[in-house]
Structure 1
């Protein structure tokens, strides 16, 4: 269970690891917020081996009234991937929580206030998010999350079908009381953001807030997106089993079994792509077959892989050329 409420209106939760080149942007984004909310900034550093912890400590010394540090003595991610998330969220004291990973940052000083006001206008909704921008190492920017210029209400089913990619982590704000049982879903899960969204959205869906931006660094050093091109078969199979186990648990949220199958099919398609990037072509075919057996046409990844399943090395080569020249 997460902590009970107190006088803090909102907790900003940041999880960092070896992000000395990025963490200062994240901290500046937190501290620049113009809001009437009583906020705290909870920064969890998972035993970085670079200067990340040194930078965080310096900012905490400058803003001791605002920043709280969580510095474990040993790396927790290596024990369980979602353990840092469980611990950091468990330490949050605010009635609301906003998240941002250490390599991302907020590009608007009005982010917190805009989201909070939108949630006040829709009191039955426990989750909100907003547009995000992909930021690549070469400075290129593309839309990551953009659903238009008007406020939109999404149903619980919309959120589930959108998957983890529907809402960038740095765009999330949710009521802490809505995720009190979150650890039960995160234990053993490969990733945390998708399950945070699902659990929070089970209390009324979600509200999309336009005009507020977070920058999501793609292929940043030590980020999730940078890890997906050299994975061992055993790792991918273990990840598959963890996704299936974790998604099956969501039936307790009154998710229809066919919707659970849809989610599993989607994640299997993404794992098939990871297997392709790692040159495990037999495993690519296995994951693709398992995905199609549950839900055919679940996403573009599945459809493209199906079209090229007899020429997977060619497909991988085309993908590499696209990344190199575009």
Structure 2
């Protein structure tokens, strides 16, 4: 592939302490066979291992294709939106592909297939593919129950099934609203998808092109179950409030479900452990239960009784 000043696609890779996995990720990028030029932008969030050294090594090997953005202090901990502040503005391509530094691509034609689809179907602005899950020992397939070769996604079915993972994402840069993205308080990858769907449809391409790593070193996986659910609730609720087109029954049900599960997690923490609730855990309880259905409130009081009895028997 010959390189030109203007790549058609920009690969964006965010890394943090991923020295064990990053070389496989980068090799998956470099093995892509395309009839268009692409660039690789790798952002390291002040890793404390050899991640930045690996990035520098590959930047030296491919100086015309790989661009490194190396932070000296961690931006994630400062709640900085790395996409809107650093990587998206640096991207020169018409299309943007995303893959985190601990995941990797297995299909050398992945980018070509996705770009071809978006080029040929103007009503679509973003697409994803299937992938394998790898826990360090075994590979497992997803059970999305999708039989269509191309599954159309909009606000009426987004997250059902949850097949829109970051590692396979390719989207049209012109569909992204950087100003809106940068204004968000609770941004996540879901924020990106909900913004993009204002401009067109999403497509799930029913073929496996990548591997998603499940490991304890993942920044998000290290968080508590309550944090994962409550942060997702705040994220989707923020997007629901910001984007009128997203006010569908499907998105509203997702918001309710995320808050319900977060509230029950907080309930468990309050009555089954001796831990004092955080302000967010208290807020989740106050937000959900006063307006919950009678059947849910019954489950609420039943759980309290169960937790109290278990505590009494332990004494």
TM-score where L is the length of structure 1: 0.76
Q: Which residue pairs with 1:177 in the alignment? A: 174
TM-score where L is the length of structure 2: 0.79
Does the 8 Å CA contact 1:127/1:207 hold for their aligned counterparts?
yes
The farther-off stretch of 186-195 and 127-136 is 186-195
Does residue 248 of the first structure (1) align with residue 248 of the second (2)? no
Q: Which residue pairs with 2:77 in the alignment? A: 78
Runs of 4+ in structure 1 over 4 Å off:
235-243, 257-260, 272-277, 280-289, 291-297, 305-308, 310-314
Does residue 290 of the first structure (1) align with residue 281 of the second (2)? no
Does the 8 Å CA contact 1:126/1:205 hold for their aligned counterparts?
yes
- Number of matched residues? 294
Q: Secondary structure at the match of 2:222?
A: helix
Task: Give, in angstroms, the shift of residue 166 of structure 1.
Answer: 3.0
**Structure 2: gaps of 5 or more residues:** 272-276, 309-315
Question: How far apart in 2 are the matches of 1:168 and 1:195?
Answer: 12
Task: Give, in angstroms, the shift of residue 257 of structure 1.
Answer: 6.4
Question: Structure 2 vs 1, CA of residues 280 and 25 (structure 1 numbering), >3 Å: closer, same or farther?
Answer: farther
Question: How far apart in 1 are the matches of 2:144 and 2:23?
Answer: 23
Task: Give, in angstroms, the shift of residue 145 of structure 1.
Answer: 5.5
**Structure 1: gaps of 5 or more residues:** 1-5, 315-326
Q: Which residue pairs with 2:252 in the alignment? A: 261
Q: Secondary structure at the match of 1:215?
A: strand
Q: Which residue pairs with 2:15 in the alignment? A: 16
Does the 8 Å CA contact 1:42/1:70 hold for their aligned counterparts?
yes
Does residue 119 of the first structure (1) align with residue 110 of the second (2)? no
Question: How far apart in 2 are the matches of 1:149 and 1:259?
Answer: 21
Question: Structure 2 vs 1, CA of residues 186 and 280 (structure 1 numbering), >3 Å: closer, same or farther?
Answer: farther
Does the 8 Å CA contact 1:17/1:45 hold for their aligned counterparts?
yes
Task: Give, in angstroms, the shift of residue 48 of structure 1.
Answer: 0.5
Aligned partner (choices 220, 225, 229) of residue 224 of structure 1:
220
Question: Structure 2 vs 1, CA of residues 132 and 237 (structure 1 numbering), >3 Å: closer, same or farther?
Answer: closer
Question: How far apart in 1 are the matches of 2:66 and 2:87?
Answer: 13
Does residue 108 of the first structure (1) align with residue 107 of the second (2)? yes
Q: Secondary structure at the match of 1:225?
A: coil
Task: Give, in angstroms, the shift of residue 19 of structure 1.
Answer: 0.7
Does the 8 Å CA contact 1:131/1:144 hold for their aligned counterparts?
no
Does residue 37 of the first structure (1) align with residue 28 of the second (2)? no
Task: Give, in angstroms, the shift of residue 194 of structure 1.
Answer: 0.3
RMSD: 3.6
Question: How far apart in 2 are the matches of 1:175 and 1:184?
Answer: 16
Question: Structure 2 vs 1, CA of residues 141 and 237 (structure 1 numbering), >3 Å: closer, same or farther?
Answer: closer
Deviations 1:82-105 (A, max 9, x none): 335542112111000000011111
Does the 8 Å CA contact 1:133/1:214 hold for their aligned counterparts?
yes
Does the 8 Å CA contact 1:135/1:142 hold for their aligned counterparts?
no
Q: Which has the larger radius of gyration?
A: 2
Task: Give, in angstroms, the shift of residue 288 of structure 1.
Answer: 9.9
Q: Secondary structure at the match of 1:129?
A: strand
